[in-house]
Structure 1
Amino acid sequence: MVIKATETSEPRRWVVGITGASGAIYGVTLCRQLLAAGFHVHLVISDAGWRVLKEELGWNASHRLDCLDKAFDSAPAEGRMTYHPLNDIGASIASGSFRCEGMAIVPCSMGSLSAIASGASTNLLTRAADVMLKEGRPLLIVPRETPLHAIHLENMLKLARLGVRIIPAMPAFYNGPQSLDDIVNFIVGKTMDNMGIVHQLYKRWGQPNE
């Protein structure tokens, strides 16, 4: 399922970034949903993101491609994944000529958010986000931090004014979550709503019980 970074002519592409904020399961679940929907996922993970994947999900960051294979092998064959190393600044997703639907950073640390807000393309993840901004493509950020101080809020406001969708990892309870999966699926579902992708991950307000 996971292949090394190569060019592809497939049109339905989303770039997904996973950074070092708590909540790595959000990014992993989003990737699985995109694969199931038939998208080609271009994945980039920060070094801190790999650390969180190890701490929260037990991934062995020393064998990264093996981890990705195990995590996404069960995904339906409709979608494909390309993994891009963080320091491969010459990867396809670093160029504005690379065509895709947009990028979602799930979860997004305050450090990565700050770099994006300041235009500091110090690695492939922040460069790909910068490309989305300069090309006018959708950029979605799922920040995960609490409490938030003024600099965090100012950076979010700056990006929101540029058209970035800020989707805080704040679960709702009107849908009666019964498990951790229900809470994760709500956040991923709200992200996919903003990506314009149809899903059935959570019960919407006013939707009758089945």
Structure 2
Amino acid sequence: MTDDLNLTAVAQDYLKIVWSLQEWSAEPVTTTLLAERLGVGTSTVSETVRRLTGQGLLEHPRYGSIGLTPAGREHAVKIVRRHRLIETFLVSELGYTWDEVHDEAEVLEHAVSDLMVERIDARLDHPVRDPHGDPIPGADGAVQTPDALTLAVLDAGASGHVVRISDADPEVLRYFTELGFGLDAPLRVVERRDFAGVLSIEWAPADDCEDLRRTDLGLRAADAVWIAVA
């Protein structure tokens, strides 16, 4: 198989985004959705998808959703592994905050070699998740995705612990930092006020489960939080 670094940065981005969109959602991947994520026109997406389909990396049946071929998935997982290891390295070793690393990793993932990626992995003692809780694929391509639901869909009385916080919105990450809310925090949904778009949760920092706190979250914030339900 062609080495990932012989793919253009654009091709790498498309494969990674298609994989990422399917990782936590069953929503079909369409040209419109890709255009929104990439910030380009649908005609540009359609042309690139056609090219990658011709290269055997994507599949896009007429009037169907866009998916990865086995070869495309293999490339995509390697790129995702590179991205998430870089994010983890930036936070662990260089003092970045979790709301700063995504854009940096977007640039660096196209430049680092496979050797550097494996050296980073070894230096970090083979982490299994990135700073946002997204699983880091293994060198063999295996991905262990936790069984989780978004906080926004949970009913009152549901409980569990935080396993992922989406990095799609840095503003949400900064808000959670101010709260002290993060991965592994145990929580319980106290009340749903759907008419107001608000969830009341009781939670504790992961490092002090006795420090119970109560917070009202809007659905925008709650939709970014993924919970392993007890």
TM-score normalised by structure 2 residue count = 0.24
The structure with more radius of gyration: 2
TM-score normalised by structure 1 residue count = 0.26
Bigger relative contact order (CA 8 A; separation at least 6)? 1
